Amino acid sequence: MQGAVLVAIAAAIGNLLQGWDNATIAGAVLYIKREFHLETQPALEGLVVATSLIGATIITTFSGPVSDAVGRRPMLIASSLLYFAGGLIMLGRPTSSSSSLRASSTASASASPSRSSPSTSPRPPRPRSAACSTRCRSSPDPSACPSPTA
């Protein structure tokens, strides 16, 4: 009975960590779509998201027999070394290609002050007057309704 409880606890912790991983991917998928231009390729986007589950399935399937053949300690050492190497690789990578583009556009804008670069931030909505008609309030165009100062 005590062994079954330990197995159940280990399985619950594994599922918790898999859920955490899925939640992390779900939060990052918006940025992944933009960075790799996947907006028009939903099948490829799904493959990127499912890669974590596919990898976990393959690793879980083969880690037991490989661990039996090689031993637990060498498997843990190899896993730790791969994880550490992946961290070092990620340390040397830039966070985003768009950050280098922003830096170059800022440098070019400061080099030529007469030329203004277009703003990438959206314009804030104009305030609408209290006397605005129903037609103005339902319009998606903020210029359809005059501002209170006009």
Reported as a single tens digit per residue, the pLDDT across 86-101 is 999 988 877 655 444 4
H or E segment to which residue 26 belongs: helix 2-35
Collapsing DSSP states into helix, strand and coil, what is residue 94? coil
Reported as a single tens digit per residue, the pLDDT across 26-54 is 888 888 888 888 888 889 988 988 888 89
Stated pTM of the model: 0.45
* Percent of residues in the chain assigned helix, strand, coil, to nearest 5: 70, 0, 30
List CB contacts of 45: < 8 A, sequence separation 6 or more.
29, 32, 33, 38
Rounded Cα–Cα distance for residues 101 and 118 (Å) = 14
Burial class (CB in 10 A: 0-12, 13-18, 19+), 139: middle
